[in-house]
Homo-oligomer: A and B are copies of this chain.
Amino acid sequence: VILTVTPNPAIDMTWSVPRLVQGNSHRVVAGSTRAGGKGVNVARVLHGQGRAVRAITTVGGATGVEFSADLALAGLAHRSVPVAAPTRRSVALYDEARSETTIVNEAGACPSAAEWRSLTDAALELLPDCRCLVGSGSLPPGGPAGFLADLVRAARTAGIPTVIDTSGPALLAAAQAGATLLKPNAEELRDATGELDPVTGARTLLALGARSVLVSLGARGMLLVRAGDAVVRSARLPTPLTGNATGAGDAAVAAVAAVLAYDDDGDPERLLRLATAWSAAAVLMPLAGDISPSHPDLAARVVVEVEG
């Protein structure tokens, strides 16, 4: 089983409006509500591709009740750690005329020290039986930067690969802890390392201790840089796809976890090809956590280049 840990999950609410006009009142039929947060999206993608997965998240308040009910509806195995603060919400208003989404994300409330401990304990308890540990998403404001790093260390000790998709000090700490793969986007990488060039930024994370870094570049594809490997591999589709980029990074993380969990040959080109294809397949779907069934065709079209 693949474990995904989401320290700051959200209930994602989406409303579609023919034309959004600021200051106006709009009447719509009904919105959709879905349990979200990056690690939950990763788990959805893996579940959709038939991989055994379990999502570990905090859950709190009335929004937490909705969150858990939605995961149950999706048939996603879930370990919820009760916290006092309500699960945060994310609001997306989709303007149909402009194909443009306006998003308001709540930052999320920080769990107490005891609640952080319970979340760590839940992950550690399930760790021995897992094939890969994924830690995805931001920490709530004030959260301990070393939370995911501690899980990485425990997984390393147990010989379990780790995939971490986070930002800021938590990203640096996960690198220092020796994560198997880090998946920042170009902006997160620049913010965390201070390096403008993504390859230099990735090498900075390797120097800290990470084993590999997959940098997502949006429509320009992805870069993979590995410790002890001088070459830089890049991958992209010959023609970029247009659609909904939300969840594309989560699909890439899911692909990486699927490869690392059940495939020990560690072929970097295969990993890059699958990550790029699943990511592109997510762009074709309206909701984060879904990928288009066309992903095998996309994988066949991915162009991988090796430099250096």
The size of the chain A interface, using a CB distance under 8 A, is 35
Contact B22 A95 (CB under 8 A): yes
Query: In the complex, which residues of chain B have a beta carbon less than 8 angstroms from the beta carbon of A24?
Result: 102-103
Instruction: Write the nearest CB–CB distance from A188 to chain B, whole angstroms.
Output: 14
Tell me the residues in window 115-145 of chain A with beta carbons closer than 8 Å to chain B beta carbons: none
Q: Which of A28-36, A147-155, A235-243 contacts B (4 or more CB under 8 A)?
A: A28-36
Binding site for B on A (CB under 8 A): 13, 15, 17, 20-31, 33, 62, 65-66, 69, 88-89, 91, 93, 95, 98, 100-107, 109
Inter-chain CA distance A24–B161, complex, in Å, is 35
Interface SS of chain A: helix, strand, loop or mixed?
strand
**Pick from B22, B26, B107: contact of A100, CB under 8 Å:** B22
Query: In the complex, which residues of chain B have a beta carbon less than 8 angstroms from the beta carbon of A93?
Result: 91, 93, 102, 104
**Pick from B23, B30, B98, B105: contact of A101, CB under 8 Å:** B23
Contact B107 A28 (CB under 8 A): yes
Inter-chain CA distance A13–B13, complex, in Å, is 11
